[in-house]
Amino acid sequence: MSLSFEIPVQVDTFYIAAQSDPAQNRYVFAYTITIRNHSSEAVQLLKRYWLITDANGKETEVYGDGVVGEQPQLAPGASYSYTSGAVLETPVGTMQGHYEMTSQSQLSFKTPIPLFRLAMPNILN
């Protein structure tokens, strides 16, 4: 019997004009991520990996333990949300990555974080 883990990831992004300085090529974005456990057993988020790409093609990789200082556990049917941020040198960019997770039965797996866009309002049609 093979277990599969259904862990959808939803992302909402926000441009933070008050912390941005376009004259200095500084564009600050926040994103809120909601992770849901649609699986039949509890899971825990252990690590994160991000690939952040700006409009100039500059790529930054971020790898670390947990998210916002936590390694949340999600019971079946539970969800977990957190807000974090990114600073880009361009008004548009993308982020994508994965979470490394473990299940209650000690199976390790990766949950993909789908590509999402960071963009100043009204910059894209």
| CA atoms within a 13 Å half-sphere pointing along the CA-CB vector of 39 | 24
- Token duo for residue 99: 């979470």
Of all residues in the chain, what percent are helix, strand and coil, respectively (each to 5)?
5, 60, 35
pTM above 0.95, yes or no: no
**pLDDT single digits (tens) 32-91:** 999 999 999 999 999 999 999 999 999 999 999 999 999 999 999 999 999 999 999 999
